[in-house]
Amino acid sequence: MDLTALTISEAAAALQRGDLTAVAYAEALLGRATQAAGLNAFIHHDAAQVRAAARAADEQRARGAKPGPLHGIPLALKDNLDTAGTATTAGTPGLRANRPARNAPIVQKLIDAGAIVFGKANLHELAYGITNNNAAFGAARNPYDRTRIPGGSSGGVGAAVGARIVPGGIGSDTGGSVRIPAALCGIVGFRPTLLRWSQAGIVPISHTRDTAGPMTRSVADCALLDCVVTGSTALPAPSLKGLRLGVPRGHFWESLDVEVASLMEGVLVRLKDAGAILIEADIADAARLDNEAGFPIALYETIVDLNAYLADHGSSMRYADLVAQVASADVKGILQSLLGEGAIPEAAYRVALDVQRPALQRAYSEYFARHDVAAVLLPTTPLPAARIGEDETVLLNGAPAPTFPTFIRNCSPGSVAGIPGITLPAALTKAGLPLGIELDGPTGSDAQLLALARAVEAALPRIPAPKV
């Protein structure tokens, strides 16, 4: 049996039954990590630490201790999540020596449930981008094509889970940074409702937009990790027959790569054949409100929140000191501009936060209520994975398009509104590149959305594992 093919739920069941030891499972994954080292999925990975943790898990079980729900399960953690005693770099040189005194609360909950930290995963520097072309620690690579990006900013987790190095991991999402790499690496990625997961102990961008979230190879595994972190209970999957799902053609289904558009229409046909009722209706002013609220909020809060993180961790550095050491040109350009003419005025921030964002939240709330839909369906990204190095522009149907705003276009509005969203593997292009379909639900509907996603997942084709 190929142990690397096991999902979290499958591996956890085998470990709890005693059919599999944590040591044997860890060794299989360590072998896979060696085989797939060229993906550059990790900034920090210590095989000896993984082996020691696996031995401790087996010894604990041998003593008769009751195993937790994640007993012996290795997970990849994006390297902006605090881990006690291990560097949390956020992929930037200025934080190479950042060794937090304690684990982030969500990390502690996973460890308390029996999880093993397999390594700290690569990311776009300071989580400020979607390519994961990190000039300080090297580009992470897509497991389906090493010349392509895995997406970002949680690209290392996406690559590691997609390549079967680990069965799951935790990323963070400000404008799509869990869902974009999940879609491009052929896995599931879940963004919870804002503040459902604690923000503490995570190198921040924006407290109004940031959340951690799970990245796995099945919806059931995302639900399991969500239950561990939140203490909630997973709901059973509903029938798709008669279930109403919104299809907002305006903005979300426009200007798609031609092949993406065709494959996504095929997904809609599958869901209709399974009995779902598709309601074609647009979300009022979603694109405009996202544009007017999203960047002013994130750019203004970045300085405030990074300074707070540095102070809380006892660092003598402040925002300007950290930015001075940034290695990636795209990130440095944005962050340095905030110290000068590119700074967001407080008045503009207040309008974005107090007027435009609430208007976007109302637009979503009214949409779900007026059309009586459980979730909206949209292509997670308008195009497949770009080539590494296409940091500024990418070709979309033969014409150059700006890389960053193009890839976040569909994920960003839900992020700004703070609603939950989940991307599922939906198709492969002719070139063998994965694509995702996203479901966004009402605020606080996380358990219902995860249950619905299980039903949708069952109606979609399985994406084959990459040949790493």
| CA atoms within a 13 Å half-sphere pointing along the CA-CB vector of 220 | 12
Residues 6+ away with beta carbon under 8 Å from 344 = 296, 299, 300, 338
Is the separation of the CB atoms in 76 and 150 below 8 Å?
Answer: no
- Looking at the annotation, which residues are catalytic? 78, 153, 177
Is the separation of the CB atoms in 217 and 161 below 8 Å?
Answer: yes
Spell 79-98 as b/e; 16+ CB within 10 A means b.
Answer: bbbbbeebbbbbbbbbbeeb
Q: What is the 3-state secondary structure (H, E, C) of 412-423?
A: HHHHHHCCCEEE
Our CA dihedral for 132, 261, 457, 225, rounded to 10 degrees, sits at: 20
Is the separation of the CB atoms in 415 and 175 below 8 Å?
Answer: yes
Strand, helix or coil for residue 41: coil
The CA distance from 183 to 160, in Å, is 13
The CA distance from 298 to 206, in Å, is 5
The CA distance from 92 to 323, in Å, is 9
